[in-house]
Structure 1
Amino acid sequence: MTTTAYDEYVRSHWSGRAAAYDRSLAALCAHPASSLLDAAHVGAGTRVLDVGTGSGTVAGSASARGAVVVAVDAEPSMVELTRRRVPSAEEVRLAALPRLPFTSGSFDAAVANFVINHVGDPRAAVDELRRVVRPAGRIAVTIWPDPPPEAQSLWGEVFDAAGVGRPSAPTVDADRDFPRTPDGLGGLLDAAGLADVRCETITWAHRTDPEAWWNGPANGISKPGLVLVAQPPDVLARIRAAYDEVTAPYRDADGLLALPTAALLASATVP
């Protein structure tokens, strides 16, 4: 199990961006946390591994349930943020799929919130989750679906309206990838030999301040961030004008954006 070019690209993209993520996309990614933990049967006394902990939302929620929490992330700034935010965690350390520094069967459950869509070898990643969870333990993961929901796809509308192209970026090798659909994600867990595989679609309206939704990508967060940080001031101003126009229909009476979005949540049992 080796680190792929896509893994290196993702890690360089997120390097040092914990604070910017925490102020922007973290709230979006936090929405499925409770359902994710429910699907993994996490409760008081459960020894759970939170892989790709980010800003520690899932780890904190698991700790609040009385679980014994170990959290890992590939990005040092995320690890430091989670250590501060979840002092009750047994351990928060630097580590990444598909090689985790734990013995086989170390955990009752493992969760990965929007992580499998950020690894270069999804099959190897799920195999590793299975390895570290004991027999009869639980695994639960979330990813963004494809085609993307409105909250994500509207950035394409913004760039089109501004007449700005989007550079190509590295992708997962075709022979390692999987369809970002309920059948595709469920099939990924099936292929790992997991049992009782279920996959559902969670939908919600993400309510956020327009400035927060702009400032995440403006600080390099997510794929739109790659576009924004590369622009000169005049083009950035044009994109901002297009952003205000495209997002206007999503504004509530209180001025917040209500952005329709969705996630796939898959869970399974280790046989």
Structure 2
Amino acid sequence: MTNAEAYDRGFAHLSSHTVGHLLAPARQSRARRLLDVGCGTGVVTAAALALGAEVTAVDSDPVMLELLARRHPYATIRRAALPELPFEDRGFDCVAGNFVINHVTDAPAALGELRRVLRPGGTLALSWWKSDEMTATSVFTEAIAASGVPYDPPARPFSAHDTPPLFTALLKGAGFREAAVEAVRWRHQVDVAAWWTDVVEVGGPRFGMIGFQPPEVVRRIRAEYARLAAPYERDGFPVCAYLARAVR
């Protein structure tokens, strides 16, 4: 389980930039029943509720869901994870997943499941990070390496599908129509000291190891992070995400 409060302060703020793009199909179609898959602490859920949608929010982390339930009592909240969802066929008008498809181990199976729960003509919108333009997190990887700490980052199964042509082909192979992928770039403006705290406190498979190091090692990594992050303090970290849309 993650530290939901730290996630909400840090990664949820970072990922909120894509919410408007992600919900564009729901706005255009006036989707009534929306599934927020991999909801986290609820940045998509909050925006979809504001549009007047009936939102069902799904995540695998009970701590995230508890925080979301306190904030959004009018959302239907279920604990579940791709590629298996506890919903009937064709039950949603729109599915939105903000930075969740890149965490699933079987992307083709996940897309098949998302197609199953969409009605014919329903829309799908998914986002994921462009890993080589993700300075906000790569600065941590670089800081660990510069500190001399042995580090074997977790494998990224989604890298087999993470370019626009590859993911477009995956969507078409899953039976979706009108598949398209676009890049969205922005600067993540944040206090770099607060960003360090929030990322390290979240834990998780990629950078949670920092918090388990001896204090002197943590200080060494943090010093390298401060050096590497300093050039971005004024204008923010440059980041890029891909946004995919398709129709069932």
Give the TM-score band, short-chain normalised.
over 0.9
Q: 1:116 to 1:182 in 2, by over 3 A?
A: same
1:137 paired residue among 110, 122, 126 = 122
Moved more, 217-226 or 240-249: 217-226
**Runs of 4+ in structure 1 displaced over 6 angstroms?**
none
Unmatched 5+ residue regions in structure 2? none
d(CA) in 1 for partners of 2:236, 2:159 = 31
Number of paired residues? 248
Letter in 2 for 1:36: L
Partner of 1:268: 246
Once the two structures are TM-superposed, the CA of residue 169 in structure 1 deviates from its matched residue by 2.7
d(CA) in 2 for partners of 1:109, 1:79 = 20
Once the two structures are TM-superposed, the CA of residue 19 in structure 1 deviates from its matched residue by 1.8
The two structures, once aligned, show a CA RMSD in angstroms of: 1.8
Partner of 1:150: 135
2:32 paired residue among 46, 53, 57 = 46
**Larger helix proportion of the pair:** 2
Superposition pairs of residues 75-94 of structure 1, within 5 angstroms? 75-89=61-75, 91-94=76-79
SS in 1 for 2:34: strand
2:22 paired residue among 22, 36, 46 = 36
What TM-score, normalized to structure 2?
0.93
SS in 2 for 1:144: strand
d(CA) in 2 for partners of 1:222, 1:264 = 22
Partner of 2:52: 66
Structure 2 contact 36–57 (Cα < 8 Å) conserved: yes
Partner of 1:211: 193
Q: State whether structure 2 residue 91 is matched by structure 1 residue 106.
A: yes
The percent identity for this pair of structures is 41
What TM-score, normalized to structure 1?
0.86
Structure 1 contact 105–135 (Cα < 8 Å) conserved: yes
Q: 1:161 to 1:16 in 2, by over 3 A?
A: closer
Q: Deviations over 1:77-107 (max 9, x none)?
A: 1111111122222x11111111111110001
Structure 2 contact 182–242 (Cα < 8 Å) conserved: yes
Q: Deviations over 1:229-262 (max 9, x none)?
A: 231001111111111111111111xxxx600001
Structure 1 contact 76–94 (Cα < 8 Å) conserved: yes
